[in-house]
């Protein structure tokens, strides 16, 4: 049984039974356009097991609970310490990184079930591995960089107060994992890259635009960024459900970013109206 | 169709912001004025007495008199009333049509992410859908005279504002009927949802426009919006309670007395005749249809 309270570790969580086996119910897909199917695996655990270590065990022993031999389950991962975002998936109905997801918290008893699904807002490449290209495209659209390339030396960088630096540091932690987009009711799956320019861009790119707008040199591209963010799919498509900020594993103040970019958008639009640029 | 989409995309931001603005100005501002006026049916008696007026009236009668005076003022003193009304209806149509278009572009996910803010997000959409149905019923029956949607068949009149209102929500001129209670419940649901919609919309508008950026500011503005919402909710419920509890005949007496005092008894007779005529006419039509049917 999936326990409803197993999403988040709590102080009164049941003690994990050592040496138990746990059922992994996995939503699988053989490739783009292929149908989904569910398969379950019984996996022995060790203290400190996480979802990735269990997926490794399944890869080595790809036999379902019905005794059927199947293909190894595919997933993506990189850092294994919750800083790259590659291993993001939907675990027990909620999006998070799988590398930092401890089985002791999620399935403390013998026979408990953990459900794994690929993120629903991105195209599935295979099984739990999705294509997050749209997020990188969004970063390009909002010019998520500081423009320093050129033909002459720009000299030393700007001075920055420690407070401002702290504020920007929090924004810099984004790992493009996609949790905020997966949980956002306004951000919908869009397989066709042609529609990426008009579909809601989501909290990740909005917050990154703010991050680079706040950099003194980066601010040179603010007008371009705000053109994109006041266009279709820009910041005004946010519905203020504020799910993004609650699921962000890096605790990035996304709703503050949305407010800040909303303010820039207001100013940008008024300027444009009266000055024409 | 693609032209439409093109226009919407080109002016995406402007239209979005106008959508946000229209919810506050004029709709929200009107809502405040409307609820404060209407709730006077409950507190107006006390207000009159505090001013040392209406000493010969009971509190209930005073409330009716106060409300009637407010309504008369709006209907006779406010310049360009029709223009104001049409702008308001246009703003409501704009806000609701776009709102439905925008709302259907999202996909709620409360089942897995049941945060309070997410519930607000969902409720904002449903209160919009139901709210617009309610506004339509409310305006059609009490303003446009679509009496076939009123259980008692009463046509609201600004000369007899409280009595005709009471009949419309109670279901008859002589007390409550089952269908009247249903109408009142619909009113209760409708106004409650709309007040929520406004208070919550005001809260999110501050983020949208970038007035509240920090979490602290959003929280503080949240308290302001909650307080405003609570006050408006009280006004809305008072208005409805006033309409629901007002006795039709008592109200008619008070209203008649005001008319006599202001315009003389002939005017009142004239107005009553007009109303009666309307009803006669209705009955007459009914009779004719009946006969027609019999003959057929
Ligand atoms: S606040 Fe905006 S971006 Fe964040 S989850 Fe809600 S709709 Fe999406
Ligand atoms: S903002 Fe947070 S949830 Fe969104 S992509 Fe960045 S790290 Fe992930
Ligand atoms: S593998 Fe990098 S976040 Fe999990």
- What is the set of domains in chain A, with CATH numbers? 21-129 (3.10.20.30), 132-275 (1.10.1060.10)
Q: pLDDT tens across B35-75, in order?
A: 999 999 999 999 999 999 988 999 999 999 999 999 999 99
pLDDT of residue A13: 72
A137 in contact with ligand 1, CB cutoff 6 A: no
Give the atom of ligand 1 at the shortest distance from the alpha carbon of A203. 3
Q: Is the ipTM of this complex over 0.95?
A: no
Q: Which residues have a Cβ under 8 Å from the Cβ of B116 and sit 6 or more positions away?
A: none
Between CA B251 and CA B45 the distance in angstroms is: 13
B13 touches chain A (CB under 8 A): yes
* Minimal Cβ distance to B109: which of A183, A263, A269: A183
Half-sphere exposure of B114 (CA within 13 A, CB side): 6
User: Above 70 in pLDDT, residue A4?
Assistant: no
What confidence category does residue A126 fall into, taking pLDDT thresholds of 50, 70 and 90?
very high
Q: What percent of chain A has pLDDT over 70?
A: 95
Bigger pLDDT: A8 or A109? A109
Q: Please, what is the average pLDDT of chain B? A: 90
pLDDT of residue A6: 44
pLDDT of residue B264: 85
A238 in contact with ligand 1, CB cutoff 6 A: yes
What mean pLDDT is predicted for residues A93-98? 98
User: Above 60 in pLDDT, residue B1?
Assistant: no
Decide if B228 is inside a domain.
yes
Give the atom of ligand 2 at the shortest distance from the alpha carbon of A247. 3
pLDDT of residue A254: 98
Distance A205 CA to ligand 2 centre (A): 9
A236 in contact with ligand 1, CB cutoff 6 A: no
Per DSSP, the three-state class of A20 is coil
What confidence category does residue A2 fall into, taking pLDDT thresholds of 50, 70 and 90?
very low
pLDDT of residue A265: 97
What mean pLDDT is predicted for residues B233-251? 96
Decide if B179 is inside a domain.
yes
- With an 8 Å Cβ cutoff, are B17 and A234 in contact? no
Q: Which residues in chain B are contacts of A188 at CB distance < 8 A?
A: 105-107
What confidence category does residue A10 fall into, taking pLDDT thresholds of 50, 70 and 90?
low
What mean pLDDT is predicted for residues A73-91? 97
Which residues form the domain of B214?
A: 2-35+71-106+113-295
User: Above 50 in pLDDT, residue B15?
Assistant: yes
User: Above 90 in pLDDT, residue A127?
Assistant: yes
Q: pLDDT tens across B263-278, in order?
A: 888 888 888 777 666 5
Decide if B41 is inside a domain.
no
Residue in A closest to B200 by C-alpha: A240
pLDDT of residue B286: 39
**Which B residues in the span 192-231 are in contact with A, Cβ-Cβ below 8 Å?**
204, 206-215, 217-218
User: Above 50 in pLDDT, residue B295?
Assistant: no
Cα end-to-end span (Å), chain B: 49
Bigger pLDDT: B288 or A35? A35
Structural domain total, chain B: 1
User: Above 70 in pLDDT, residue B292?
Assistant: no
Q: What percent of chain B has pLDDT over 70?
A: 91
A264 touches chain B (CB under 8 A): yes
User: Above 70 in pLDDT, residue A219?
Assistant: yes
- The pick from A134, A250, A256 for probing ligand 2's pocket by mutation, whose C-beta has the most ligand atoms within 8 angstroms, reads A250
Any bridge partners for residue A44, and if so which? A21
pLDDT of residue B7: 83
Half-sphere exposure of A126 (CA within 13 A, CB side): 8
pLDDT of residue B268: 83
- With an 8 Å Cβ cutoff, are B106 and A186 in contact? yes
What confidence category does residue A8 fall into, taking pLDDT thresholds of 50, 70 and 90?
low
pLDDT of residue B2: 53
Closest CA of chain B from A79, distance in Å = 27
What confidence category does residue A156 fall into, taking pLDDT thresholds of 50, 70 and 90?
confident
B2 touches chain A (CB under 8 A): no
User: Above 90 in pLDDT, residue B90?
Assistant: yes
Between CA B143 and CA B103 the distance in angstroms is: 28
A242 in contact with ligand 1, CB cutoff 6 A: yes
pLDDT of residue B289: 40
A256 touches chain B (CB under 8 A): yes
Question: Among A62-76, A187-201, B5-19, B160-174, which stretch is predicted with the lowest mean pLDDT?
Answer: B5-19
- DSSP letter for A78, please: S
Decide if B42 is inside a domain.
no
Give the atom of ligand 3 at the shortest distance from the alpha carbon of A98. 4
Instruction: List all residues whose CB is within 6 A of at least one atom of ligand 2.
Output: A 85, 174-180, 203-204, 207, 248-250, 252, 254
- With an 8 Å Cβ cutoff, are A239 and B213 in contact? no
This prediction's pTM: 0.91
Decide if B271 is inside a domain.
yes
Measure Cα distances from B272 to A170, B159, B279 in Å.
Answer: 72, 10, 11
Question: Among A126-135, B161-170, B280-289, which stretch is predicted with the lowest mean pLDDT?
Answer: B280-289
- With an 8 Å Cβ cutoff, are A260 and B212 in contact? no
B16 touches chain A (CB under 8 A): yes
Any bridge partners for residue A116, and if so which? A26, A91
Q: pLDDT tens across B245-261, in order?
A: 999 999 999 999 999 98
User: Above 50 in pLDDT, residue B89?
Assistant: yes
Decide if B47 is inside a domain.
no
Residue in A closest to B114 by C-alpha: A243
Q: Which residues in chain A are contacts of B208 at CB distance < 8 A?
A: 236, 238, 240, 262
Any bridge partners for residue A129, and if so which? A126
pLDDT of residue A12: 67
Decide if B18 is inside a domain.
yes
Q: Which residues in chain A are contacts of B221 at CB distance < 8 A?
A: none
Decide if B52 is inside a domain.
no
Q: Which residue, B296, B157, B193, B171, is CA-closest to B244?
A: B171
* Minimal Cβ distance to A198: which of B9, B210, B214: B9
Question: Among A132-141, B127-136, B172-181, which stretch is predicted with the lowest mean pLDDT?
Answer: B172-181
What mean pLDDT is predicted for residues A204-218? 97
Q: pLDDT tens across B96-110, in order?
A: 999 999 999 999 999
- With an 8 Å Cβ cutoff, are B12 and A230 in contact? yes
Interface size, chain A vs chain B, as Cβ–Cβ contacts under 8 Å = 103
Question: Among A64-68, B9-13, B46-50, B281-285, which stretch is predicted with the lowest mean pLDDT?
Answer: B281-285
Per DSSP, the three-state class of A176 is coil
């Amino acid at each position: 049984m999936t326990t409803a309270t197993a999403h988040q570790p709590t102080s009164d969580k049941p003690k994990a039974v050592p040496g138990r086996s746990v059922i992994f119910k996995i939503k699988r897909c053989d490739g783009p356009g292929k149908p989904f199917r569910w398969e379950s695996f019984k996996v022995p655990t060790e203290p400190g097991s996480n979802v990735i270590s269990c997926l490794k065990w399944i890869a080595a022993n790809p036999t379902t609970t019905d005794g059927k031999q199947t293909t190894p389950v595919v997933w993506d991962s990189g850092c294994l310490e919750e800083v790259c975002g590659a291993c993001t998936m939907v675990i027990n109905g909620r999006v998070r990184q799988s590398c930092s997801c401890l089985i002791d918290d999620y399935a403390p008893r013998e026979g408990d079930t953990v459900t794994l699904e690929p993120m629903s807002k991105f195209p599935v490449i295979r099984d739990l591995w999705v294509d997050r290209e749209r997020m990188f495209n969004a970063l390009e659209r909002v010019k998520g960089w500081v423009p320093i390339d050129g033909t002459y030396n720009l000299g030393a960088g700007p001075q920055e107060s420690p407070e401002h630096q702290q504020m920007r540091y929090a924004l810099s932690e984004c790992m493009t994992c996609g949790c905020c987009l997966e949980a956002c009711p306004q951000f919908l799956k869009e397989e066709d890259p042609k529609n990426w320019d008009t579909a809601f861009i989501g909290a990740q790119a909005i917050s990154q635009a703010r991050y680079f707008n706040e950099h003194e040199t980066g601010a040179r591209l603010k007008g371009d960024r705000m053109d994109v963010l006041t266009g279709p799919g820009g910041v005004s498509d946010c519905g203020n459900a504020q799910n993004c900020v609650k699921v962000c594993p890096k605790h990035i103040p996304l709703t503050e970013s949305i407010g800040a970019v909303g303010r820039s958008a207001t100013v940008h639009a008024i300027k444009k109206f009266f000055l024409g640029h | 169709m693609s032209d439409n989409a093109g226009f919407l995309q080109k002016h995406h931001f402007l239209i979005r912001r106008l959508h946000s603005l229209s919810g506050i100005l004029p709709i929200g501002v009107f809502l405040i004025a409307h609820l404060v006026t209407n709730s006077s049916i409950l507190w107006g008696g006390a207000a009159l007495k505090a001013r040392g007026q209406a000493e010969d009236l009971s509190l209930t009668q005073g409330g009716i008199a106060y409300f009637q005076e407010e309504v008369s003022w709006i209907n006779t003193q406010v310049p360009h009333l029709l223009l104001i009304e049409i702008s308001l209806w246009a703003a409501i149509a704009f806000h609701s049509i776009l709102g439905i278009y925008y709302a259907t572009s999202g996909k709620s996910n409360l089942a897995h992410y049941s945060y309070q803010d997410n519930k607000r997000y969902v409720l904002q959409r449903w209160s919009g859908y139901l709210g617009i149905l309610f506004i339509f019923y409310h305006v059609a029956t009490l303003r446009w005279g679509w009496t076939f949607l009123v259980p008692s068949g009463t046509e609201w009149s600004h000369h007899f504002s409280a009595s005709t209102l009471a009949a419309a929500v109670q279901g008859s001129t002589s007390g409550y009927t089952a269908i009247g209670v249903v109408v009142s419940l619909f009113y209760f649901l409708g106004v409650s949802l709309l007040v929520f919609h406004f208070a919550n919309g005001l809260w999110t508008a501050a983020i949208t426009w970038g007035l509240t950026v920090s979490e602290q500011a959003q929280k503080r503005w949240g308290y302001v919006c909650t307080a405003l919402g609570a006050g408006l909710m009280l006004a809305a419920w008072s208005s409805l309670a006033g309409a629901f509890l007002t006795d039709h005949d008592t109200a008619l007496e008070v209203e008649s007395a005001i008319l006599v005092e202001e315009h003389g008894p002939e005017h009142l007779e004239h107005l009553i005749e007009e109303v009666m005529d309307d009803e006669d006419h209705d009955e007459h039509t009914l009779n004719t249809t009946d006969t027609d049917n019999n003959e057929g």
